[in-house]
A = this chain, B = another copy of it.
Amino acid sequence: MNVLLIYAHPEPQSLNGSLRDFIVAHLRGAGHSVQVSDLYAMRWKSALDADDFPQRDTGRRFSPSADSKQAFTTGTQTPDVAAEQDKLRWADLVIFQFPLWWFTMPAILKGWFDRVYAYGFAYGRGEHSEARWGERYGEGAFQGKRAMLVVSTGGWADHYAERGINGPIDDLLFPIQHGVLFYPGFEVLPPVVSFKSGSMTPQRHAELLERLGARLDGAMTDAPIPYRRQNYGDYEIPALTLKPELGAQRRGFALHLEEAQAAGAQAQS
């Protein structure tokens, strides 16, 4: 398979650097093709702004969505953005690897999504009618592809547990896994999360590599997180609220998991 690794850590001699090297070697060793976007090494431009649309109509005020649509449609995006989109088209599996900074991704990776996820590419697709509300949440450009987060955090697993003070790790990652990855059509594998990453012992490091290797081996066969698809009967259209008879025992983000499969498909970390 073709694997794209989007990697966002500033120091190669870090835990994340060692995990990146392991991922690449492990996948290539199994015969897969791997491309890496090392965002810090590429000096990736983080801030989406008017400079991203050099041929835009400067007589109008800048609109992030309208100018993105125009540039995507006319092939006038900046080369860095177009190159990342080509990598996404090529990939069967996309791994996003980053340290959790302030309970989400570093700015440089957020800027990758803000800029690469063009209007017409990752959003703003499909018909809006009484039966469908665009191609999103289970449909879209990345349908048939898979995605997985590989995340390190300095905090303790307990602090990210169901009743932990930071909030459950699955809920903290929901805006990314559901809102950023499932939205344009990825099937999202449960994340690989490492805790207490600042005090990694050789034994814990070895266990992490073993766990990560197994997850890479199963990446095309393991069950994805069973998020409910938007246009297949679970939601009212256009309100897009979950139908009243569904999710009776749930609240919050967990409403958006299919009921039969939900248990056990969250983070194994």
Residues on A facing B (Cβ under 8 Å): 10-11, 13-14, 40, 44, 46-50, 61-65, 99, 101-108, 110-111, 113-114, 117, 137, 154, 156, 158-159, 161-168, 171-172, 174-175, 178-180, 198, 230, 235, 238-242, 247, 250-256
A107 B104 Cβ-Cβ under 8 A: no
Listed by A's residue number, 8 A-B pairs whose Cβ atoms lie within 8 Å are A14-B63, A48-B107, A102-B110, A156-B240, A164-B240, A167-B175, A167-B178, A172-B179
Q: Complex Cα distance A85/B220, Å? A: 46
Known: A107-B107, A241-B163. A114 touches B137 (CB 8 A): no
A198 B11 Cβ-Cβ under 8 A: no
A40 B46 Cβ-Cβ under 8 A: no
Closest 7 CB pairs of A and B: A107-B111, A46-B46, A103-B179, A13-B61, A107-B110, A103-B175, A252-B252
B253 A252 Cβ-Cβ under 8 A: yes
A102 B242 Cβ-Cβ under 8 A: no
A241 partner residues in chain B, CB cutoff 8 A: 158, 161, 163-165
Copy total for this chain: 2
A10-B50, A40-B47, A108-B111 provided; 18 other pairs, C-beta below 8 A?
A10-B47, A13-B61, A14-B62, A46-B111, A47-B106, A47-B108, A47-B111, A102-B114, A104-B104, A106-B110, A110-B110, A156-B239, A163-B255, A165-B230, A165-B256, A167-B175, A167-B179, A252-B252
Smallest beta-carbon distance A107→chain B, Å: 3
Q: Residue A175 contacts which of B65, B104, B137, B238 (CB distance < 8 angstroms)?
A: B104
A172 partner residues in chain B, CB cutoff 8 A: 175, 179
Closest to A250 in B: B251
Q: Complex Cα distance A174/B154, Å? A: 19
Q: Residue A102 contacts which of B137, B171, B180, B239 (CB distance < 8 angstroms)?
A: B180
Known: A163-B247, A252-B171. A48 touches B179 (CB 8 A): no
A256 B167 Cβ-Cβ under 8 A: yes
Q: Complex Cα distance A144/B161, Å? A: 29
Q: Complex Cα distance A49/B42, Å? A: 13
Smallest beta-carbon distance A132→chain B, Å: 13
Q: Residue A62 contacts which of B11, B175, B239, B256 (CB distance < 8 angstroms)?
A: B11
Q: Complex Cα distance A39/B44, Å? A: 18
A161 partner residues in chain B, CB cutoff 8 A: 241
Q: Complex Cα distance A166/B182, Å? A: 11
